[in-house]
């Protein structure tokens, strides 16, 4: 979502949620784990295929924006209930055409990060 330019049409991207078994061996660097992107996903794909894992949930980019606008976390029961709202489809259509600026809203709702302590 951070890569999206407010006011421009959204790219056709998706958010995926996997349930990873304990035997999954993903060797990601700290930086990769902090900001998974397309290259990181390509690196994980062989392991996902080997384990025959399927995504548990797939959420379209516009649906993720709609949830963020409503202050709802993705992949939760509350997020699944959003599709019953009266403005759900019209708002998502508008978001696809012109992405809103959620930067301020996300900064306000983000919990403070814990301080790192070095011993």
pLDDT of residue 33: 62
Quote the CA–CA distance of 118 and 95 in Å, as a whole number. 43
Domain ranges of the chain: 14-102
pLDDT of residue 75: 87
Q: Which residue has better confidence, 29 or 108?
A: 29
pLDDT (tens digit per residue) in 8-58: 888 888 888 888 777 776 666 666 666 666 677 777 888 888 888 888 888
Q: What is the mean pLDDT of the chain?
A: 78
Is residue 21 exposed (0-12), middle (13-18) or buried (19+ Cβ within 10 Å)? Answer: exposed
51-60, 73-82, 95-104: range with lowest mean pLDDT: 95-104
Statement: residue 105 has pLDDT above 60: no
Are 9 and 97 in contact, with CB atoms under 8 Å apart?
yes
């Amino acid at each position: 979502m951070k890569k999206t330019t407010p006011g421009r049409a959204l790219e056709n991207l998706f958010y995926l949620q996997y349930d990873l078994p304990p035997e999954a061996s993903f060797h990601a660097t700290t930086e990769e784990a902090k900001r998974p992107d397309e290259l990181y996903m390509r690196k994980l794909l062989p392991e996902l295929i080997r384990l025959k894992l399927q995504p548990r949930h797939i959420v379209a980019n516009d649906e993720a924006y709609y949830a963020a606008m409503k202050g709802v976390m993705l992949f939760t029961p509350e997020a699944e209930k959003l599709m019953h709202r009266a403005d759900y489809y019209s708002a998502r259509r508008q978001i696809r055409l012109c992405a809103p600026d959620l930067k301020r809203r996300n900064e306000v709702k983000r919990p403070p990060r814990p301080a790192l302590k070095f011993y």
